[in-house]
Amino acid sequence: MKFCVCIKQVPDVQASVQTGRTVLNAYDASAVEEALVLNDGTGDPVDLVLVGQSTATETIRKALAMGASDATHLVLEDAQGADSHGIAEVLADHFAGHAYDVILTGKQSQDSDSGLAGGMLAERLGLPYATNAVGLAIEGDKLLVTRQGDAGQEIIALSTPCLVTCSNDMNNPRIPALKGIMAAKRKQIATVPVASPSARTAVSQTFDPPAREPGIKLEGEPEEMVADLMQRLSSEAGVI
């Protein structure tokens, strides 16, 4: 099957917002990994699509180094002002002129956590889709999706073409080997400038979460620590 995986460059959640450090969205990395595993040995392509600023090229090459076939960079310099609706609009215009069997996206992105773009894209393209996938398998011309629902796991058979949003619980994305990194440097990335889409929401401010107060370490004999803990839970926390 021909997989097209939508990836995104996001702020590194392990670093301060002010550092400006960016990484490949973890949910998208799991989607790339699953497509590579399913197509291993078949010769079928795994293509990448990223909507973002021109500085996102390095993120694309990280995903190419995992083993993806090629990539298209939809260059949107005002990407910070594009919400899920706008990104779905840009991606739908792109996919309208391309052949694919399965479009994979992360179920959400690490920056906004909205989890809306995948469903909006499927609606725009008129595709059957499943969300929060934790496993994929190919059975004939159908894609079997194991998804995590509210009451447990569900297995859904989707006819292709289709769209699936992937959880980062699906797998452990590979760390690119030196051979893959060198090969990624030689791969051509198609760049297509796109106009700013119509956003329905706006981000007014971003900031780091407040620092957590340090914990309290109890010391002494076990009996003393238990007594101290019970006293603190009663008098300070008021939970007992």
- Tens of pLDDT, residue by residue over 39-71, are 999 999 999 999 999 999 999 999 999 999 999
> pTM to 2 decimals?
0.84
pLDDT tens per residue across span 144-189: 999 998 889 999 999 999 999 999 999 999 999 999 999 999 999 9
Rounded CA separation 85/206 (Å): 20
Lowest mean per-residue pLDDT among 9-13, 113-117, 136-140, 151-155: 9-13
- Burial annotation 153-171 (CB, 10 A radius, 16+ → b, else e): eeebebeebbbbbbbbebb
- Domains recognised in the chain with CATH numbers: 3-193 (3.40.50.620), 210-240 (no CATH)
